[in-house]
Amino acid sequence: MSLSLCYLFQGLSKLQLRRLSAITRETAIEKGQCLLNEGQKAEELHVLESGAVELMMRVEEGIEIPIAILRKAGDCVGASALVPPHVYSLSARCVKEGKSLCMKQADLQQLILEDRDLGCIIMTNLARNLLERLKETRQELKIHFRTLFRSMQS
Amino acid sequence: MSLSLCYLFQGLSKLQLRRLSAITRETAIEKGQCLLNEGQKAEELHVLESGAVELMMRVEEGIEIPIAILRKAGDCVGASALVPPHVYSLSARCVKEGKSLCMKQADLQQLILEDRDLGCIIMTNLARNLLERLKETRQELKIHFRTLFRSMQS
């Protein structure tokens, strides 16, 4: 069981992890399979058990650039399923067959409504991760600004 | 009272807003005053009542670029105070005198521990906002990638 390895679920009690397991189903993922598509309704959250998943960002029609490859048990895709308006912000494609633990958005929402402590822990973990990713993305922008400043100075 | 205007506190009950008010103090902000500094410990969250605050990102030593100017009652700075490791990711400077509603990180943390429903609502609002800002920052990066692709194609 890799749920407790996922950053989203760190700090949950054993009972809370059991509640989460009750709405989780294990699914096989095949090489080439699209797990989720940027811009589509975020109906599922996947936690990787085995295999590998590539995250991609659409730059323009027909052009996608790779953002990251997830390979570790506990890595997850589809956290947008936890946040209104529930729309995927990236695409994810399986690049090595394996298994994922899959939770439906509606089941997660119901569980979070019923157990506010669980909800608070998951949402704090998510906010922390999003802030980290926001900082990283800003760092990439900074590199472009630095290049610009230097070309203006020279 | 502008607390209920802040995106972080939308969806809280009247009782929860009263609990929040109890740990809030109104402070005057002066033109030129630094409200928070990038990289420093996030000890306070500010909700703007009046005046204006500029957000800045450090590009390199001595060079900061403006990110946004907050002018609306309910706009807030210092949401990093809500998320471990509690470090500000931007700087904020007052550019027009006014008033802010200020909450201490330790008081917020205590309130979130005591009222998990309040915590879950605030953290969901924060995650939603962070995801939105992450998407916006990625959009800016996409512009750089597009320029690169086009220069490679021509």
Tens digits of per-residue pLDDT, A64-122? 889 899 999 999 999 999 999 999 999 999 999 999 999 999 999 999 999 999 999 99
Supply A88's token pair. Answer: 């995927």
Least CB-CB distance to B144: which of A112, A123, A144?
A144
Give pLDDT, residue B53: 98
| Residue A61: predicted pLDDT | 80
pLDDT at residue B153 in the model = 66
Ranges of residues in chain B with a pLDDT under 70 are 1, 148-149, 151-154
Residue A4 has pLDDT above 80, yes or no: yes
Please tell me the predicted confidence (pLDDT) of residue A144.
74
Q: How many CB atoms lie within 10 A of CB A21?
A: 14
> Using only C-alpha atoms, what is the Rg of chain A?
17
Per-residue three-class SS string for chain B:
CCHHHCHHHCCCCHHHHHHHHCCEEEEEECCCCEEECCCCECCEEEEEEEEEEEEEEEEECCEEEEEEEECCCCCEECHHHHCCCCECCCEEEEEEEEEEEEEEHHHHHHHHHHCHHHHHHHHHHHHHHHHHHHHHHHHHHHHHHHHHHHHHHC
- Pairwise pLDDT comparison (A134 vs B151), residue with the higher score: A134
Three-class SS state of A22: helix
From A51's Cα to the closest Cα of chain B, the distance in A is 26
Lowest mean pLDDT among A43-47, A107-111, A136-140, B111-115: A136-140
What integer best gives the mean pLDDT of chain A? 93
Identify which of A44, A41, A133, A50 has the alpha carbon closest to the alpha carbon of residue A94.
A50
> A150 pLDDT exceeds 80?
no
Q: Taking CB atoms and an 8 Å cutoff, what residues of chain B touch A10? A: none
- Amino acid A149: pLDDT: 65
Predicted pLDDT of residue B154: 60
DSSP element (H, E) containing A116: helix A116-153
What pLDDT score does B138 carry? 86
Chain A hits for B63, CB-CB cut-off 8 Å, are 149
Q: B-chain residues within 8 Å CB-CB of A141?
A: 137, 140-141, 144
What percent of chain A shows pLDDT beyond 70? Answer: 94
Which of B80, B122, B123, B132 has the most A C-beta neighbours within 10 Å, making it the best mutation to test the interface with A? B123
